[in-house]
Structure 1
Amino acid sequence: MRPPRFVRRVSSSSPLAGIALVILASWSLSTLDTSGKWIMAAGLPLAFLCWVRFTVHLALVAALAPSSALRAALRPRRPYAQFLRGAVMLSATFSFFTALRYMPQAEATSINFLAPLIVLACAPWILREPARLSRWMAALAGFAGILIIIRPGSGLDPVGVSFGLLTALLFSIQYVCTRLVAIDSPMTTLIWSGGVGTIGLTAALPFIVPAAWPALREFGLQEWLVMASTGVWGALGHVLQIQAYRLTPASLLAPFLYLQIVAASILGWLVWGDFPDALTWLGIAVICGSGIVIGAIEWRRSPAPGTPVPEAGGGLS
């Protein structure tokens, strides 16, 4: 199938373009997280926020995708796996935005990057891959980084930390589901990612709207624009990631995915004045270092595609 016109390969290999796109995707998805956190602070219930995020996402992707991609999305080769992935993504979105309600954006985003390390550590059982000491050591290092971030005295809300860890677990399940649907085109998976959440939450609108109506009545133009932008930033972030992986090998892009933590830190500081302290940055560095090192080891061991790499944080959402 021909690639969609807005993610078509422009050259056989464009490393710098791919890196630039994945950095832009990180900023886009971090802006999604910031917008969601801001609009919830303005009084919008989480369920309605998620409905807007998924509905706008689906509408934009459907409008930009060619008819051939839409027809292919209606006939996925593994529909049950696509549905499962969409349902897990919806659950992870709820979980992550709940974590953002209780904790700073940088710390919540950092915990998400534990997910690919969980997948690597559990690969012998869930992916039938060989057990490797390097993977378990990387996972342990990642957990150590998390413990530094959520240490006693960090000031993080236990509720937020709990939902942050739940989100990392859900993201790890999402990565496994992504393996299962890899036989479909990325555009098919992108459409299903928005479709499952949109259909499920639309069915629940009779219960969602009454709780959201008081806040919606008070919203001005700024609040409505920020609310709608969550779907725009989410769709844009995922489209940019698809294009980046079409231009540049995943192994080269993997280290740059961690710049999403930097984006989250800067946005959190600009909007709320939250900035990680020195020990938190140490924990973040441990998580990033373990992910980058194991990514390099996996790439050297087997350049075949399929090595789990971190997806975006709440944007995955």
Structure 2
Amino acid sequence: MFKALLIMLVAMSFIPAGDAASKILTSQLGVAPVFVVWTRFLIGGLALLPFTWRAGVSVWRDWRVWVRAGIIGLGISCITRALSMAPIADVFGAFFIAPIISYVLSVWLLKERASVVQASLVVIGFVGVLLIVRPGFEASPGLGWAVLAGCCYGSFLTLSRWLAGQVALGGLMFTQMFGAAALTTPFVFGQFPEFTPQIAALTLCSAAGSMIGNVLMLFAYRMQEASKLAPFVYFQLISAVAFGWLVFGEFPTLLTVVGMALIIGAGIAVAALQLRRPVTARA
């Protein structure tokens, strides 16, 4: 368990690191967000190609993997736009509406079991998101993009659950990367920046951070049950605060910290309930 936990914590640090590189590219160097998104998927897909191409080719005609690829492409586009406009910790906090959306869609569409306690914890997590976004008070367009990104990612997680028993993991990874890259290609023409060593390095860091983080997370999930590792996904919020402070000199407001605490607490409590549920209760 300790090894899987360590891998998970490292994975949850790589993902915000990649987003920090994206934020520098878009907010400080003037790189178009769509270029960052396109290179992120293309570079990640090329790196994983030797391990996933066989499975990917076998499912390429399945329309559902294209829908999934389109949703994750839209989600990453939205969060990249959000990072160019708002502090990284606030963006990650608003983005964590994703587990709430996934929970609601899974209960509604996949007919997964729900309880009053779980529903109450989801509401608490939603209150945490509202404290971060503060709609109608101090809301910023950047946080609106972050919420939209979270909604996309929550839908992506539900689709992934739906396809998990029907499409091989390699096929999902292949279509996720190349499908999203293909769908964003028409929008990247005319958006290429003037390449400098700094832009090239940060582009690679953005793509590598996301890819390495997600691959390490999959390794951790192969070593331990997902329900046992689920609470540690929220370490991304802590990593985002750390990167925001160290790289950008940003520190979240008190309301944002309280909102994050509610999100993390509710997420851990939901995971704890999943651990206590008997295995036979799962269909």
TM-score normalised according to structure 2 size: 0.91
Aligned length: 281
The residue aligned with 2:225 is 249
Residue segments in structure 2 that go unaligned for 5+ positions in a row: none
Distance in 1 (alpha carbons) for counterparts of 2:99 and 2:80: 20
**Aligned-residue offset at 1:122:** 4.1
Q: Deviations over 1:26-54 (max 9, x none)?
A: 11111111011110120111111111111
Distance in 2 (alpha carbons) for counterparts of 1:211 and 1:70: 28
Residue 295, structure 1, aligned to residue 257, structure 2: no
* SS of residue paired to 2:58: coil
The residue aligned with 2:46 is 59
Residue segments in structure 1 that go unaligned for 5+ positions in a row: 1-14, 308-317
CA contact (8 A) 2:73 2:183 kept: no
The residue aligned with 2:191 is 211
Distance in 1 (alpha carbons) for counterparts of 2:105 and 2:38: 32
Amino acid at match of 1:248: Q
Q: 1:154 to 1:20 in 2, by over 3 A?
A: farther
Residue 176, structure 1, aligned to residue 158, structure 2: yes
Percent identity at matched positions? 26
The residue aligned with 1:193 is 176
The residue aligned with 1:123 is 106
* SS of residue paired to 2:189: helix
**Equivalent residues in 2 for 1:1-317 (5 A)?**
15-41=1-27, 42-63=29-50, 65=51, 69-76=52-59, 79-151=62-134, 155-157=138-140, 159-183=141-165, 184-202=167-185, 204=186, 208-212=188-192, 216-217=193-194, 219-303=195-279
**Aligned-residue offset at 1:83:** 1.4
Q: Deviations over 1:68-127 (max 9, x none)?
A: x42122113982221111110000011111111221111111222221122223433211
CA contact (8 A) 2:96 2:129 kept: no
Distance in 2 (alpha carbons) for counterparts of 1:84 and 1:146: 27
TM-score normalised according to structure 1 size: 0.82
Distance in 1 (alpha carbons) for counterparts of 2:53 and 2:282: 25
Q: Answer 1 or 2: which has greater helix percent.
A: 2
**Aligned-residue offset at 1:131:** 4.3
* SS of residue paired to 1:48: helix
CA contact (8 A) 1:186 1:242 kept: no
Distance in 2 (alpha carbons) for counterparts of 1:133 and 1:122: 16
Distance in 2 (alpha carbons) for counterparts of 1:196 and 1:147: 33
Amino acid at match of 1:244: A
Q: Deviations over 1:180-210 (max 9, x none)?
A: 22022322211111010122233x1xx5332
Q: 1:154 to 1:261 in 2, by over 3 A?
A: farther
CA contact (8 A) 2:106 2:158 kept: no
CA contact (8 A) 1:148 1:282 kept: yes
Q: Deviations over 1:142-162 (max 9, x none)?
A: 1111122223798552x1121
Distance in 2 (alpha carbons) for counterparts of 1:154 and 1:240: 39
Distance in 2 (alpha carbons) for counterparts of 1:304 and 1:110: 34
